[in-house]
Structure 1
Amino acid sequence: MNEEIILSLLSENLILILAAIFLLVCLFLGVRIVPQADKFVVERFGRLHAVLGPGINFIVPFLDVVRHKVSVLERQLPNANQDAITSDNVLVQVETSIFYRVTEPERTVYRIRDVDGAVQTTVAGIVRAEIGKMELDEVQSNRSQLITQIKHLVEEAVNDWGIEVTRAEILDVNLDKATRDAMLQQLNAERARRAAVMEAEGHKRATELNADAELYAAEQAAKARRVEADAEAYATQVVAEAIATHGIEAAQYQVALKQVDAVSAIASGAGQQTIVLPSSAMDAFGEAFGMLKGRKA
């Protein structure tokens, strides 16, 4: 009897223990804590059922299975080098770098097997196609525009894979040695041409300035001659008015003054000088003094 009771108690305790273990297993399988940087893809009977976001999530134990754990952090693909030919038939080697992140994990895991390799292949094809539309000078000078165009085209191409291209960079554009030497010669020739043009423009400007200076000097000389002519005309007009008012005496008076001024200039010279004057000159002086005296009176 005692043995039967003990067996009964053991069986009941075993059932309780098994039930507790089952509940713990269900709790363990039904609760999923998703890290902030991840998303979990859940399948039910082998088909997509749900995508679990960060935090605590509940699933049906034994029916739902977390099949994929996908990181949504931004990823950087390894730098890739690919050859491309420009529209002017120059071979260049382009080094690119791509950044992307997963936005829809269900597309990423069910539509593409190797997303990194697929993105790299897509970028390589787009880079070759876009560079083939441009000349070498355009590739060098419009790099930002080229990067923007490549990023836009890559985004359209990978849209079905549930990823977002966050950044695309062209790190370097390398040329073969022959092309580099040719570009260096072209650059040196262009510098020489610019130097010659600047020198010619300098000579031209100097010539223009000299011509302007000569023109200005001629204008000033003409103005001076015009002033002298105006002064002479004014003096002539004054003399003419004096003659018209006072008659021949005014003319004689002016002539006498000129003679006196001339003799004074000769006498004021350096050294000792002997001046011989004709008697007519003395008579002219007398007349001049007489006229001056008469005017003062």
Structure 2
Amino acid sequence: MDTTSVIGDLLGGNIVLLLLAGFIILCIVLGVRIVPQSEKHVVERFGRLRAVLGPGINLIVPFLDRVAHRISILERQLPTASQDAITSDNVLVQVDTSVFYRITEPEKTVYRIRDVDGAIATTVAGIVRAEIGKMELDEVQSNRSNLISTIKASVEDAVDDWGIEVTRAEILDVNLDQQTRDAMLQQLNAERARRAQVTEAEGRKRAVELAADAQLYAAEQEAKARRITAEAEAFATEVVARAIADHGIEAAQYQVALKQVEALTAVGQGAGKQTIVVPAHALEAFGDAFNMLKGRG
């Protein structure tokens, strides 16, 4: 056998083996797909949906199947959007919103909507205008958490067919035009002035009530003192009457003499009254009174 022909046969056989090995390697490369944890791959066969590959090692049919879309399933944030809205009391407000979402069913997102971010932003703008149009300005400011919950639920219903889950919706700010701000500031100042006047009036009212209570207390105490004095005088009169009934005229004379001495003592103790001029018959009466008191003692 010719050496040249043998070498040619060997080379031809090696080439076939090399081609076969290359083909097998190519099939493995094309048929094995490793999907990262943060992604899902949409596989098509002849332009139609074949499968959705999850994270890990996946096998597809080489040359027939191809990965048409690589979809990230990480949570995304839409850029902050501002839209004008009019409240039910005809106040123009500018609302800044932000929405967070993630793709849960890539096949729906790929084949049912072209621009996901734009579609969600438009949906959010329409829902925000509709919901704020049902509320007054004070409600928008005070019930922001309820408004956010309503917007989130409405957006979830709207994007359900797109294979999207809305994880969070936020109203970052509610801005007013300058004219409305000035009007609200005037209203706030007027309310503060009104509250100050009410507080001052309540203070004056309380002062009057306290003064009236003090006067009433003083009157009650004075009446109580008078009652005690009257009771004491009544008791003294009763004692005197009982003494007169028991001892006769001497007891009455004794009481009269006692009162005369007390009156003379009070007159002598008065300021500027050290010199006292008393009629003679009065002196005799006082003498008799002193004698009676001395005798009683």
Return 262-271 or 119-128, whichever deviates more. 262-271
1:265 pairs with 2:266:
yes
Rounded Cα–Cα distance in structure 1 between residues aligned with 2:272 and 2:119: 114
- What's the offset of the Cα at 1:80? 0.9
Partner residue, 2:256: 255
Partner residue, 2:130: 129
Instruction: Map 1:81-96 onto structure 2 (within 5 A).
Output: 81-96=82-97
SS of structure 1 residue aligned to 2:135: coil
Partner residue, 2:73: 72
Partner residue, 2:38: 37
Structure 1 residues 166-225: Cα deviation after superposition (integer angstroms, max 9, x where no partner): 111111222222222222222222222222222222211111111111111111111111
Rounded Cα–Cα distance in structure 1 between residues aligned with 2:103 and 2:273: 118
Return 216-225 or 176-185, whichever deviates more. 176-185
- What's the offset of the Cα at 1:152? 0.8
Structure 1 272/144 Cα, relative in aligned 2: closer, same or farther at 3 Å? closer
Partner residue, 1:8: 9
Return 260-269 or 173-182, whichever deviates more. 260-269
Partner residue, 1:112: 113
Structure 1 25/211 Cα, relative in aligned 2: closer, same or farther at 3 Å? same
Instruction: Map 1:1-297 onto structure 2 (within 5 A).
Output: 1-268=2-269, 273-296=274-297
Letter in 2 for 1:266: V
Rounded Cα–Cα distance in structure 1 between residues aligned with 2:54 and 2:263: 121
Letter in 1 for 2:48: R
Structure 1 residues 8-41: Cα deviation after superposition (integer angstroms, max 9, x where no partner): 2112211111111111111111111111111111
Structure 1 residues 124-177: Cα deviation after superposition (integer angstroms, max 9, x where no partner): 000010011111121112111111111110011111111111111111222222
Letter in 2 for 1:260: V
Structure 1 234/165 Cα, relative in aligned 2: closer, same or farther at 3 Å? same
Rounded Cα–Cα distance in structure 2 between residues aligned with 1:264 and 1:120: 107
- What's the offset of the Cα at 1:286? 4.6
Letter in 2 for 1:79: T
SS of structure 1 residue aligned to 2:74: coil
Which structure 1 residue ranges, 5 or more long, are not aligned?
Answer: none
Return 43-52 or 101-110, whichever deviates more. 43-52
Rounded Cα–Cα distance in structure 2 between residues aligned with 1:158 and 1:182: 39
- What's the offset of the Cα at 1:257? 0.9
- What's the offset of the Cα at 1:264? 2.6
SS of structure 2 residue aligned to 1:133: coil
- For the 8 Å contact 2:44–2:68, the answer to whether it is kept is yes
Letter in 2 for 1:54: P
- What's the offset of the Cα at 1:289? 4.3
Which structure 2 residue ranges, 5 or more long, are not aligned?
Answer: none
Structure 1 108/249 Cα, relative in aligned 2: closer, same or farther at 3 Å? same
Structure 1 residues 238-295: Cα deviation after superposition (integer angstroms, max 9, x where no partner): 1122122222221111111111122233344567944444444444445444444544
Structure 1 288/196 Cα, relative in aligned 2: closer, same or farther at 3 Å? same
SS of structure 2 residue aligned to 1:158: helix
SS of structure 2 residue aligned to 1:188: helix
Structure 1 177/7 Cα, relative in aligned 2: closer, same or farther at 3 Å? same
Rounded Cα–Cα distance in structure 1 between residues aligned with 2:203 and 2:294: 69
Structure 1 237/272 Cα, relative in aligned 2: closer, same or farther at 3 Å? closer
How many residue pairs were aligned?
A: 296
- TM-score norm. by structure 2 comes to 0.93
* Aligned CA-pair RMSD: 1.9
Rounded Cα–Cα distance in structure 2 between residues aligned with 1:277 and 1:194: 73
Structure 1 259/173 Cα, relative in aligned 2: closer, same or farther at 3 Å? same
- What's the offset of the Cα at 1:68? 0.7
Rounded Cα–Cα distance in structure 1 between residues aligned with 2:5 and 2:272: 171
SS of structure 2 residue aligned to 1:78: coil
